[in-house]
Chain A
Amino acid sequence: MTHTQKRILMSRVAMTFSTISAVIGIGFLLWILGVLVSNGIDALNTDIFTLEGTPPGYEKGGLKHALIGQLYLVGIAALIGVPLGILAGTFLSEYGQRSKLAEIIRDISDIMMSAPSIVIGAFVYAIVVAPMGHFSGWAGSIALTIIMLPIILRTTDDMLSLVPSTLREAAFALGAPKYKVILQVVYRGAKAGILTGILLGIARVAGETAPLLFTSFNDNFLNTDMMEPMASLTVTMYNYATSPYEDWQKLGWAAAFILSMFILSLNIIGKLFLMKKKGR
Chain B
Amino acid sequence: MSKIIDTLFANLTKITAFLVLLIVAWIFTVLIDHSMDAIKAFGFDFVLEDKWAPNLEKFGALPAIYGSVVSTFLAMILSVPIAIGVAIFLSEIAHAKLKTPVGVSIELLAAIPSVVYGMWGLFYFVPIIRDIFGGVGISMLSAGIILSIMILPFMAAVTRDSMNTTPDILKESAYALGGTKWDVIKDIIIPYAKAGIIGSFILALGRAIGETMAVTFVMGNVHRISTDLTEPATSIPVTLANEFNEADSELYFSALFELSLLLLVISFTIISVAKFYFLRRKRIGR
Contacts and interface: CB of A to CB of B under 8 A. Distances in A.
B204 to A, nearest CB: 9
Interface string B81-100: 11111101110111000000
Contacts, number: 279
B-side binding surface: helix, strand, loop or mixed? helix
A110 B27 contact: no
Contacts of A24: 82, 85
Given A29-B109, A122-B256, A209-B115, A108 B21 contact: yes
Nearest to A268: B108
Interface in B145-169: 149, 152-153, 156
B16 A84 contact: yes
B58 interface: no
Nearest to A153: B20
Interface in A144-187: 146, 149-150, 153, 158, 161-163, 165, 177-180, 182
Given A35-B124, A213-B241, A118 B217 contact: no
Contact of A7 (B105, B152, B183, B212): B183
A88 B10 contact: no
Contacts of B113: 206-209, 234, 259-260, 263
Given A96-B17, A126-B30, A10 B2 contact: no
A119 B82 contact: no
Contacts of A119: 27, 31, 210, 260, 263-264, 267
Interface in B166-207: 180-183, 185-186, 203, 206-207
A122 B14 contact: no
B14 A91 contact: yes
A15 B19 contact: no
A252 B113 CA distance: 14
B18 to A, nearest CB: 8
Interface in A9-52: 10-11, 13-15, 17-22, 24-26, 28-29, 31-33, 35-36
B48 interface: no
A242 B2 CA distance: 59
Contacts of B281: 106, 110
A272 B245 CA distance: 41
B116 A115 contact: no
A122 B247 CA distance: 13
A157 to B, nearest CB: 9
Please classify how large the interface on chain A is, using the bins under 10, 10 to 19, 20 to 34, 35 or more: 35 or more
Nearest to A107: B275
Contact of A20 (B5, B85, B118, B237): B85
A215 to B, nearest CB: 10
A101 B33 CA distance: 27
Nearest to B264: A119
Given A29-B106, A210-B237, A234-B113, A177 B13 contact: no
A1 interface: no
A94 interface: yes
Interface string B252-268: 00001100100110011
B267 A22 contact: no
Interface of A: 7-8, 10-11, 13-15, 17-22, 24-26, 28-29, 31-33, 35-36, 84, 87-88, 90-98, 102, 104-112, 114-123, 125-127, 146, 149-150, 153, 158, 161-163, 165, 177-180, 182, 203-204, 206-210, 213-214, 217, 234, 237-238, 241-242, 249, 252-253, 256, 259-260, 263-264, 267-268, 271
Q: Which 6 A-B residue pairs are closest in the complex by CB-CB distance?
A: A116-B210, A21-B85, A207-B113, A22-B89, A11-B180, A161-B285
